[in-house]
Amino acid sequence: MVINDQKRILVTGGGGYIGTHVVGQLLARNYKVRILDPLVFGQGVLKDLKKNKNLEIVQAEIGDLYQLSLALKDVNEIIHLAGLVGDPACALDKDFTIRMNILSTRVIKDLSKLFNIKKFIFASSCSVYGSTNKKANEESKLNPISLYAKTKIDSEKELLNDDTKNFHPVVLRLATVFGHSRRQRFDLIANLFTAQAHNDGVLTVTGSKQWRPFIHASDVARAFVMIVEAPLAKIDRQIINVGDDNLNCTIANLAQLIAGIVKTSKKGQKVQIIIQDDPADLRNYHVSFAKIHKILGYKAMVGLEQGIKEMYHNFKQGVYKGHYRDPIYVNYEMTKLMQMRYSCHAKS
């Protein structure tokens, strides 16, 4: 247990795939944590965390200005995770995506300044590098090829171009996240492949030669905690890639690793890999994480093999209820539910 000055941290999207890891680690280090999240599927994902007296939950959409204002009261720092995540979810409705990703960032930024909240930690994505044949670092030219990536870039600009005194944004560009979480997802490539291998015995690979940087959800959370605890002079207005150079991997190699771990499906069939490369999918980025290692001494603690084995074990133990394509596990489906909720609120 770490003794701190009892900072109160607001985590928007604290009930999500990454958010539940962030909240858990902050609570373990004795921070006061307030979550702002609509919790579309209820508070069950927070069951074990709710026992902690330092946790508060504001169950509301990021666009609810009244609830957002209540959530910002007496907060020292913000970790902004809320918004639509992933290319398919963001492609559903451009206007809705802009509202949820860019405009909501602007609103929470402006309100945070009114509440004199100095440190604003924003979750961006390495997908902003798009398609590149060179190893990308924080100074590399951005080449977004999806609306999701474009909204991340616009949100970064919204924060970093604001030169208000005593406003200190930090942008974390996350590698492709994988692994187990209290709010599990199976629309992330490593998680999806693990689910397919166990349930179907077939991995369908559509970008075998593409590179991706990977990072476990718990290691992402650790990076956010390290930024919370870092001296402001080290991280103020910095853009920092979050990942580990050792976890850059091609999609084909990822599939081979998972097939080698799972070996046979739950029906007893040998896991097969089917290559169906899609020339329309241009995503390809090999990323450098030298900066976060230099500034914070950060290294990943969970490798691909360990994280995949944990999910495979959870499948065999029946931890993941229902089917891996159920809406609760897929952000695209969750986004459709959010759209319906938003439309209902707008009409009421």
For the domain that residue 163 is a member of, what is the CATH number? Answer: 3.40.50.720
Gap between the Cα atoms of 277 and 241, Å rounded? 28
Gap between the Cα atoms of 169 and 110, Å rounded? 12
106-115, 214-223, 280-289, 320-329 — most confident range: 214-223
Burial class (CB in 10 A: 0-12, 13-18, 19+), 196: buried
Encode the chain in three state secondary structure: CCCCCCCEEEEECCCCCCHHHHHHHHHHCCCEEEEEECCCCCCHHHCCHHHCCCEEEEECCCCCHHHHHHHHCCCCEEEECCCCCCHHHHHCCHHHHHHHHHHHHHHHHHHHHHCCCCEEEEEEEHHHHCEEEEEECCCCCCCCCCHHHHHHHHHHHHHHCCCCCCCEEEEEEECEEECCCCCCCCCCHHHHHHHHHHHCCEEEECCCCCEEEEEEHHHHHHHHHHHHHCCHHHHCCCEEEECCHHHEEEHHHHHHHHHHHHCECCCCCECEEEECCCCCCCCEEEECCHHHHHHHCCCCCCCHHHHHHHHHHHHHCCCCCCCCCCHHHCHHHHHHHHHHHHHHHHHC
Gap between the Cα atoms of 196 and 323, Å rounded? 11
The answer to whether residue 25 scores a pLDDT higher than 50 is yes
User: When comparing pLDDT for 132 and 229, which is higher?
Assistant: 229
Let me know if residue 258 belongs to a domain. Answer: no
Overall domain count for the chain: 1
Q: How many CB atoms lie within 10 A of CB 51?
A: 9
Let me know if residue 206 belongs to a domain. Answer: yes
Let me know if residue 302 belongs to a domain. Answer: yes
State residue 131's pLDDT score.
79
Let me know if residue 257 belongs to a domain. Answer: no
Question: Residue 285: which pLDDT band, with cuts at 50, 70 and 90?
Answer: confident
Let me know if residue 120 belongs to a domain. Answer: yes
Report the predicted TM-score, pTM, of the whole model to 2 decimal places: 0.92
Range of the domain at 180: 8-251+274-346
Question: Residue 164: which pLDDT band, with cuts at 50, 70 and 90?
Answer: very high
Question: In this structure, are residues 109 and 158 in contact, taking their beta carbons and an 8 Å threshold?
Answer: yes
Let me know if residue 96 belongs to a domain. Answer: yes
Average pLDDT over residues 181-200: 96
State residue 213's pLDDT score.
95
Looking up tokens 């474009």 gives 150
The answer to whether residue 180 scores a pLDDT higher than 70 is yes
pLDDT in tens, 7-22: 999 999 999 999 999 9
The answer to whether residue 345 scores a pLDDT higher than 60 is no
State residue 1's pLDDT score.
42
Let me know if residue 268 belongs to a domain. Answer: no
User: When comparing pLDDT for 226 and 148, which is higher?
Assistant: 226
The answer to whether residue 73 scores a pLDDT higher than 70 is yes
